[in-house]
């Protein structure tokens, strides 16, 4: 279906994908302009519609592309690590690596979850319900819950961890462009997360 698009050089494919993602993140499906996408990618609108039949097909392709990226993140979850805090730390670092390689991919995922266009909403829902459940199951699979204090409601503790990790991750991703190398990002991320991790461990662990 996308043979002509795959024939493009990798750098040009990336330009098209990034331009389309930026446009959909900023304006949503209905208001996104294929003219703007083509112009930003440095191609003609005719070429864009040679690669993708219409805006909806392009949008659906981007969703599948984003899901493939996230599934790679899931595949890298180290299930041998039983400590929940260390597992979340590793996932956060992998997320930063993905953000470095795929700018705005997480912004796009967040945006499409809020998309209410009837043209694409059912497709989004069908894709992301299973993806979200799969991700949560993997994140917490095999975790050693005996480390938690006996008087702690583990479900509520996990909710607090999720909120903390989400907020921290969002801030880290926004600051990603201020670093030239992932090594710098990783060191800063590790140091900051360690402070949060130590604080929460004192609250939740024995």
pLDDT for residue 180? 46
CB 110 within 8 A of CB 174: no
**For the segment 23-49, what is each residue's pLDDT rounded down to a tens digit?**
999 999 999 999 999 999 999 999 999
Nearest residue to 124 via CA among 71, 64, 75: 64
The kind and range of the H/E element at 36 are helix 34-41
Q: Answer whether residue 181 shows pLDDT above 70.
A: no
pLDDT for residue 182? 53
Instruction: Kindly state the greatest CA–CA separation across the chain.
Output: 63
And the tokens for 108?
């796009």
> Which residue in the block uniquely carries the two structure tokens 């805090």?
85
Which of 60-69, 89-98, 151-160, 172-181 comes out lowest in average pLDDT? 172-181
pLDDT band at 112 (very low <50, low <70, confident <90, very high): confident
Q: Which residues pair with 186 in a beta bridge?
A: none
Which of 7-11, 55-59, 119-123 comes out lowest in average pLDDT? 119-123
Spell out the residues 6+ positions from residue 36 whose beta carbon is closer than 8 angstroms to its own. 19, 23
Question: Which residue did the predictor score with more confidence, 140 or 1?
Answer: 140
pTM of the model: 0.77
* Domains of the chain, each with CATH number or no CATH: 3-204 (1.10.357.10)
pLDDT for residue 145? 94
């Amino acid at each position: 279906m996308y043979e002509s698009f795959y024939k493009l050089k990798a750098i040009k494919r990336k330009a098209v994908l990034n331009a389309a993602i930026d446009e959909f993140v900023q304006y949503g499906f209905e208001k996104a302009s294929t003219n703007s996408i083509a112009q930003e990618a440095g191609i003609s609108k005719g070429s864009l519609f040679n690669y993708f039949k219409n805006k909806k097909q392009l949008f659906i392709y981007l969703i599948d592309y984003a899901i493939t990226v996230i599934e790679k993140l899931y595949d890298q979850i180290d299930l041998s690590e039983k400590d929940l805090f260390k597992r979340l730390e590793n996932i956060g670092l992998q997320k930063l690596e993905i953000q470095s390689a795929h700018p705005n991919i997480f912004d796009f995922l967040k945006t499409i979850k809020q998309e209410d266009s009837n043209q694409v909403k059912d497709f989004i829902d069908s894709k992301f319900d299973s993806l979200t459940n799969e991700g949560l199951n993997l994140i917490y699979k095999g975790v050693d819950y005996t480390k938690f204090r006996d008087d702690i409601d583990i479900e509520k503790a996990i909710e607090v961890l999720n909120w903390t990790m989400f907020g921290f991750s969002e801030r880290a991703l926004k600051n990603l462009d201020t670093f030239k190398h992932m090594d710098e990002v990783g060191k800063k991320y590790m140091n900051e997360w360690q402070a949060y991790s130590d604080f929460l461990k004192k609250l939740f662990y024995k």
